[in-house]
Amino acid sequence: MKREKTDWPGVMINRLTRLHADPQRSFKAIAEQLSREFGVMITKNACIGKARRLGLEQRAKGTPAPKPRKKRPLTTPHLVPSPEVVPPVLPGWTVEPPVLPAASGRIAIYQLRRGVCHFPFGNRPPYAYCGGTTATRTSPWCPHHERVVYPRGPGR
């Protein structure tokens, strides 16, 4: 049989409507039946489209819808202080013991404000920030992290 554009005559529409009334018959079976009876190649999709345009009742899909996944509760990551890298000490330098803010002082990005240290911890989101008191009013860093960011002092 040759595939060609088919105008749906009234007889073919009536037959489609009667075949569609049987819920056990698939659109593939309806297309094959119509193709045999009328000698014209009719596809499954042509039958589906015509049934929709005629306003025939839509059929349930063959496979059941997947069950929705259970959403895991959002948990805040346990913030573990990352080890600080200590640079080697050159002769003539003095080493001050670092004054680190408490690990519990770490804050999230939406808690950052002026006067709070903006030093980030972590390599991947969600980042945590120091949250200590800044060294000066214009600095975004606490005294310890200002020395980390500017090892030779600001502006040098």
Is residue 20's pLDDT more than 90? Answer: yes
- How far is the C-alpha of 148 from the C-alpha of 82, rounded, in Å? 14
Report if pTM > 0.95. no
25-54 pLDDT, tens digit each: 999 999 999 999 999 999 999 999 999 999
pLDDT at 58: 84
pLDDT at 54: 92
pLDDT at 88: 67
pLDDT at 16: 93
56-105 pLDDT, tens digit each: 988 776 656 677 777 776 665 566 666 676 666 666 666 565 555 555 56
- Does residue 149 contact residue 141 with C-beta atoms inside 8 Å? yes
